[in-house]
Structure 1
């Protein structure tokens, strides 16, 4: 099915930023086997897998449309900071930090796989992402969310210190099943 034949989805994108680090970060949940590992030279197929498994429900399609060269050029920069969440030994989510110039860091992607939600991990995981952003010593940390993301995303970002600074309307064209399968299988 071509992109023209797919349903187009109107979304509102909210841009948020934080000018100072939080006074505290949420603590790691007790009695859980949790690991957060920073990747080095993440394999493209694994990054696509994370994007698909975390973002499928939320229509994260932009990265899945990139060819290997385009994706590699962005992912394998020395300043890129990608960390993968594991719960009970299995991948459960990730975040992807993009430093922009010396004064801004973008939390470009943040999310958990469906099997990891509802376990009291999300607030801690977002706190760990924010702490990782501030470890790059920026003046400002930015993130964006949209009306397709988890219904609690915007309020959670605000509870942990982000403030909305702008909004815009966009249109998302979902990937067909065949397109999604082909991009994840690359």
Structure 2
């Protein structure tokens, strides 16, 4: 027979408190980001993305940062979200291999919300994040929203908040939340 306190301790150990920073960008920032040298790059809009490919990228990119929402949703829900008219997913390819993705939701005319952005670990540290993020911002601004919005938290890359602010985002609020760790 198991002790109920053990389960409570395990549940608490599987969760962590995080600080969330919400950021907004009110106008495009004209930042020229050079194309990383020596790599064949392509950025493509994913249309009717299969849920298995989405889940693969979501896990390989998001697991180290404990992304939570989509892993809690069933395949039907995820499919309806990622294939919705207001969703845009950009895929970054490096030398023909999927290397990252950016997911945004169009809440026009008010905003475009950048929901997820990241690189596959094998492609981090090569100067791709700033380049890809600049391209994702250009794609978001092409819809003429009043502003762009995004959130980051203390489990994201320690460089994420710095990148977002260098690219023109400003913090507008902070909050605390509890995240279930991804094992």
Give the counterpart of 2:164 among 157, 166, 186: 157
Deviation, structure 1 residue 5: 6.4
TM-score, scaled to structure 2: 0.91
Contact in 1 for aligned 2:22/2:173 (Cα 8 Å): yes
Partner of 2:27: 20
CA contact (8 A) 1:8 1:171 kept: yes
Mapped partners of 1:83, 1:19: distance in 2: 22
Q: What's the counterpart of residue 123 of structure 1?
A: 130
**Could you say what the CA RMSD is over the residues aligned between the two structures, in angstroms?**
1.7
Question: What's the CA shift for 1:101?
Answer: 3.4
Q: Tell me if the contact between 2:20 and 2:152 (Cα under 8 Å) persists in the aligned partners.
A: yes
Instruction: Give the aligned partner of residue 144 of structure 1.
Output: 151
Structure with higher Rg: it is 2
CA-CA distance at 1:158 after TM superposition = 0.2
Give the whole-Å Cα distance in 2 for the aligned partners of 1:71 and 1:34: 27
* Alpha-carbon distance change, 165 to 31 in structure 1, aligned in 2, over 3 angstroms: same
What does residue range 162-177 of structure 1 map to in structure 2 within 5 Å?
162-176=169-183
Q: Can you give the 5+ residue segments of structure 1 that lack an aligned partner in the other structure?
A: 177-186
Q: Structure 2: which 5+ runs fail to align?
A: 1-6
User: Which 10-residue stretch deviates more, 142-151 or 69-78?
Assistant: 69-78
The 3-state SS of whatever aligns with 1:106 is strand
